Amino acid sequence: MRTQVAIVGAGPAGLLLSHLLHLNGIESVVLESRSRAEIEATIRAGVLEQGSMDILNEAGVGERMRKEGMLHHGFELAFGGRRHRVDLTELTGKAITVYPQHEVIIDLVAARLAAGGQLLFETSEVKLHEVDSAQPSVSFVHSGEAGRIVADFVIGCDGFHGVSRPMIPEGVREDFQRIYPFGWFGILVESAPSSDELIYAQHERGFALVSTRSPTVQRLYFQCDPQDKTGNWSDDRIWAELHARLEHNDGWKLKEGRIFQKGIIGMRSFVCAPMRHGRLFLAGDAAHIVPPTGAKGMNLAISDVKLLSRALAGFYRDGSRELLDSYSSDALKRVWRAEYFSWWMTRMLHSFADASPFERRMQRAELENVVSSRALRTALAENYVGDF
Ligand code: RFL
Ligand code: PHB
């Protein structure tokens, strides 16, 4: 089989790239190891920056997002027994939308299939070949048969554990990483939202986050030991922990409901540079990971493929390689700023077991500074809405 662009991975990065290329008259094939049902049901991110919404709208896949997504003009920072609002719209003129990642995936898969796009689900043994030659290829097994796609370019959108990044030789690639000594325990709860806006809470027992998925489903997280097991947490124990971290004396109460999903995620910061080797380009989690505290992961995946689709469109339109050559450094500029913001939010809001009493005071002073200073709140808001 021959195509112009072979894409590995049908997450937000791979699917959106395939669709943006299609809109530019460029053919692609997407290879995905999981089933359609599985990718459409995996619960992950929730927050979309304005810029991400703009791209989804421009790509013609924003209709349900505009209808069902919840526009948020601010969020709250809670610490020391009080809640403080960060008014995103007043500070930046922008807002964010809470629209679950799996809904974005559902919309993108539908758009790709409606346009006759080639998505191969449940492919196994995906291997990349000769990515630094003029004719890279990808071999795989699909429906019990071995196949091979020869392409002009191969794009690794296969997430952190994919096969693409290791194709950039170790001497060429530099990996930057920080693994945090905690994880997030995430639950989905059948109940109306406890709050109209997200609440990021710093507490001596650990961080907690109140988010939402729909008018009838809440998404709640709390900091935990990354090695812990969900089986150790009964519903009662989860609620006791969340109440302790989130409720103060101001009368606000966390709404309880049936917990219908529990999971623990590890937290890391990671960047691979460069994001290109020959005719292999990486986008999204394949190249970088941020801890979820800044809500940046899916947004970075989307901004990578925006850059990459323009670069590939330029190449196919008039043979220009300029944007392809600058893709890695262009993408990494934004990636490093998002890495900084996500690390900063994580450091400011989580409990570190080895922090000295002095460091704990500094953490509190930093939060006090942020909520007291319009300049610092503005910097926080600009980063959160993706104004960089
Ligand atoms: P994905 O979504 O991981 O998709 C990669 C796809 O590649 C497939 N794959 C392969 N296919 C073929 N062959 C192989 N060898 C393959 N290996 C892997 C996988 O099956 C998968 O379908 O990467 P992508 O597209 O780069 O998208 C990145 C985002 O998914 C990720 O950054 C976000 O979910 C991160 N994130 C958040 N981001 C935000 O912008 N806002 C948020 O509020 C937010 N909250 C979160 C998050 C991530 C979380 N978790 C679970 C890590 C909250 C959580 C809890
Ligand atoms: C979510 O709703 O899953 C979510 C929201 C904000 C974050 C991380 C995750 O910072």
pLDDT of residue 247: 95
Count of CB atoms situated within 10 Å of the CB of 48: 27
Query: What are the pLDDT digits (tens) for 169-210?
Result: 999 999 999 999 999 999 999 999 999 999 999 999 999 999
Mean pLDDT (whole number) for 21-39: 98
- Per-residue confidence (pLDDT) for residue 55, from 0 to 100: 97
Query: Residue 248: pLDDT band by 50, 70, 90 thresholds?
Result: confident
Q: How far is the CA of 352 from the centre of ligand 1 (A)?
A: 26
Q: Are residues 162 and 211 in the same domain?
A: no
Q: Which of 47, 21, 70 is nearest to 283 (CA)?
A: 21
**Domain assignment of residue 88, yes or no:** no
What pLDDT sits at residue 251?
87
Whether 101 and 152 map to the same domain: the answer is yes
Q: Decide: 342 and 91 in contact? Cβ < 8 Å.
A: no
In a domain, 253, yes or no: yes
Q: How far apart are CA 329 and CA 331, in angstroms?
A: 6
- Which residues lie closer than 8 Å to 162 by C-beta, 6 or more apart? 8, 9, 156, 286
Residue 78 lies in a domain: no
* Amino acid (1-letter code) at residue 149: I
- The pLDDT value given to residue 183: 98
Ligand number nearest CA of 299 is 1
Whether 17 is covered by a domain: the verdict is yes
pLDDT, one tens digit per residue, over 81-115 is 999 999 999 999 999 999 999 999 999 999 999 99
Same domain, 117 and 235: no
pLDDT at 249: 81
Indicate whether residue 16 lines ligand 2 (CB < 6 A).
no
257 and 358 within one domain: yes
Cα-trace Rg, the chain: 21
Residue 234 has pLDDT above 80, yes or no: yes
Q: Which ligand is nearest to the CA of 284?
A: 1
Say yes or no: 167 and 296 in one domain: yes
Domain around 235? 181-267+352-385
Kindly report the backbone phi and psi dihedral angles of residue 150, in degrees, each rounded to the nearest multiple of 5, phi listed first. Answer: -100, 130
48 and 119, same structural domain? Answer: yes
Domain assignment of residue 146, yes or no: yes
Q: Give the amino acid at 210.
A: V
Ligand nearest to the CA of residue 263, numbered in listed order: 1
For residue 327, indicate whether it is catalytic: no
Check whether 116 has a pLDDT greater than 80: yes
- Banded pLDDT at 250 (limits 50, 70, 90): confident
Active site (annotated) includes residue 166: no
* Residue 265 three-state SS: strand
**Residue 198 included in any domain:** yes
Cα separation values, 185 from 72, 227, 262, 265, 344, Å? 24, 11, 7, 7, 20
pLDDT digits (tens, 9 = 90+) for 255-304: 999 999 999 999 999 999 999 999 999 999 999 999 999 999 999 999 99
Q: Quick one: 150 and 212 in the same domain?
A: no
Res. 80 pLDDT band, cuts 50 70 90:
very high
Decide whether any atom of ligand 1 lies within 6 Å of the 386 Cβ.
no
Q: Are residues 64 and 27 in the same domain?
A: yes
How far away, in angstroms, is 126 Cα from ligand 1 center? 18
CA distances, 43 to each of 101, 219, 251, 360 (Å): 7, 10, 31, 33
Q: How high is the mean pLDDT of the chain?
A: 97
**Res. 61 pLDDT band, cuts 50 70 90:** very high
Q: Do residue 157 and residue 288 come from a single domain? A: yes
| Cα end-to-end span (Å), the chain | 40
Same domain, 115 and 259: no
Active site residue 181: no
Q: How many domains does the chain have?
A: 2
Catalytic site includes residue 292: yes
Contact 296, 342 (CB under 8 A): yes
CA distances from 135 to 124, 227, 307, 327 (A): 22, 44, 22, 20
Output the pLDDT for position 217: 94
pLDDT tens figures, 31-60? 999 999 999 999 888 899 999 999 999 999
Q: Is the pTM of this model over 0.75?
A: yes
Judgement on whether residues 248 and 292 belong to the same structural domain of the protein: no
18 lies in the same domain as 157: yes
Q: Is residue 200 annotated as part of the catalytic site, yes or no? A: yes
Residues 6+ apart with CB under 8 A from 5: 17, 18, 21, 26, 27, 28, 29, 151, 152, 153, 154, 155, 312
Calculate the CA dihedral of residues 317, 319, 321, 323 and round it to 10 degrees. Answer: -10
Q: Which of 72, 97, 219 to mutate to test the pocket of ligand 2 (most atoms within 8 A of CB)?
A: 219
The catalytic residue among 72, 203, 288, 306 is 72
